[in-house]
Amino acid sequence: MRSTLTAFLLPASLLSEGVKAEAWQTKIQAAISSRNPAYPPDSVDKLADATLPKVEAWLKKKEADGTNFNCTAENVVVRREWSDLPIPEREEYIRAVTCHMTLPSRAPKSRFPGAISRFDDFVAYHMTHAAELHDTIHLFPAHKQFLWVYEQALRNECGYKGYQPYMNYDRYAEDPIHSPMFNGNSSSMGGNGEFDPQYTGVPQAGRNPNIIESGGGGGCITSGPFSDTSPVRHLPGIPPNPKPDGTGYNPRCLRRDINRNAALGATAAHAFSLITSNDNINGFYNQILGTPPAKNDPYPWGIHTSGHYIHAVDPGGDPATSPGDPVFYFHHGAVDRLWWVWQMQDPDRRINAVPDFSGGGHTGHGRRLLLTKRQRGTMDPTKAVIDLEWLAPSIPLMEAHESLGGNKGAFCYIYI
Ligand SMILES: *[C@@H]1O[C@H](CO)[C@@H](O)[C@H](O)[C@H]1NC(C)=O
Ligand SMILES: *[C@@H]1O[C@H](CO)[C@@H](O)[C@H](O)[C@H]1NC(C)=O
Ligand SMILES: [Cu+2]
69 lines ligand 1 (CB under 6 A): yes
Closest residue by Cα to atom 5, ligand 2, is 180
Closest residue by Cα to atom 12, ligand 1, is 69
The closest-lying atom of ligand 2 relative to the alpha carbon of residue 183 is 2
Instruction: Output the CA 126–ligand 3 centroid distance in Å.
Output: 7
- Return the CATH fold of 27-415: di-copper center containing domain from catechol oxidase (1.10.1280)
The closest-lying atom of ligand 2 relative to the alpha carbon of residue 187 is 1
168 lines ligand 2 (CB under 6 A): no
| Residue-level pLDDT at 246 | 84
Closest CA to 284 of 349, 206, 212, 371: 349
Closest CA to 392 of 100, 160, 107: 107
| Residue-level pLDDT at 228 | 64
- pLDDT one-digit tens code per residue, 305-359: 999 999 999 999 999 999 999 999 999 999 999 999 999 999 999 999 999 876 5
113 lines ligand 1 (CB under 6 A): no
> Exposed (0-12), middle (13-18) or buried (19+): which is 276, by Cβ within 10 Å?
middle
The closest-lying atom of ligand 2 relative to the alpha carbon of residue 186 is 13
**Per this entry, what is the length of the chain?**
416
The closest-lying atom of ligand 1 relative to the alpha carbon of residue 69 is 13
Give this prediction's pTM. Answer: 0.91
3-state DSSP of the chain: CHHHHHHHHCCHHHCCHHHHHHHHHHHHHHHHHCCCCCCCCCHHHHHHHHHHHHHHHHHHHHHHHCCCCCCCCCCCEEECEHHHCCHHHHHHHHHHHHHHCCCECCCCCCCCCCCCEHHHHHHHHHHHCHHHHCCCCCHHHHHHHHHHHHHHHHHHHHCCCCCCCECCHHHHCCCHHHCCCCCCCCCCCCCCEEECCCCCEEECCCCCCCEEECCCCEEEECCCCCCCCCCCCCCCCCCCCCCCCCCCCCCCCCEEEECHHHHCCCCHHHHHHHHHCCCCHHHHHHHHHCCCCCCCCCCCCCHHHHHHHCEEEECCCCCCCHHHCCCHHHHHHHHHHHHHHHHHCCHHHHCCCCCCCCCCCCCCCHHHCCCCHHHHCCCCCCCCEECCHHHCCCEEHHHHCCCECCHHHCCEEEEC
- pLDDT one-digit tens code per residue, 215-259: 999 999 989 998 765 444 444 456 778 888 888 888 788 999 999
Instruction: Output the CA 319–ligand 3 centroid distance in Å.
Output: 7
| Residue-level pLDDT at 226 | 84
63 lines ligand 1 (CB under 6 A): no
Closest residue by Cα to atom 13, ligand 1, is 69
| Residue-level pLDDT at 358 | 66
70 lines ligand 1 (CB under 6 A): yes
- Phi-psi region for residue 184, left (φ > 0), alpha (ψ -120 to 50) or beta? left
**Torsion sign across C-alpha atoms 7, 8, 9, 11:** positive
| Residue-level pLDDT at 7 | 36
394 lines ligand 2 (CB under 6 A): no
Instruction: Output the CA 140–ligand 3 centroid distance in Å.
Output: 9
Instruction: Output the CA 99–ligand 2 centroid distance in Å.
Output: 22
CA pair distance 71, 77, nearest whole angstrom: 10
- Which ligand lies nearest to the CA atom of residue 72 in the structure? 1
Closest residue by Cα to atom 2, ligand 1, is 70
| Residue-level pLDDT at 367 | 38
375 lines ligand 2 (CB under 6 A): no
| Residue-level pLDDT at 378 | 60
409 lines ligand 1 (CB under 6 A): yes
Q: What is the mean pLDDT of each run of 10 residues along the chain (416 residues)?
A: 36 63 94 98 98 97 97 96 98 97 94 92 94 92 98 98 98 98 97 94 95 95 79 54 85 91 98 98 96 94 97 92 96 98 98 81 43 56 95 97 98 98
Most informative mutation of 63, 70, 412 for ligand 1 (most atoms within 8 A of CB): 70
| Residue-level pLDDT at 4 | 35
| Residue-level pLDDT at 326 | 96
Closest residue by Cα to atom 14, ligand 2, is 185
List the domain boundaries for the chain: 27-415
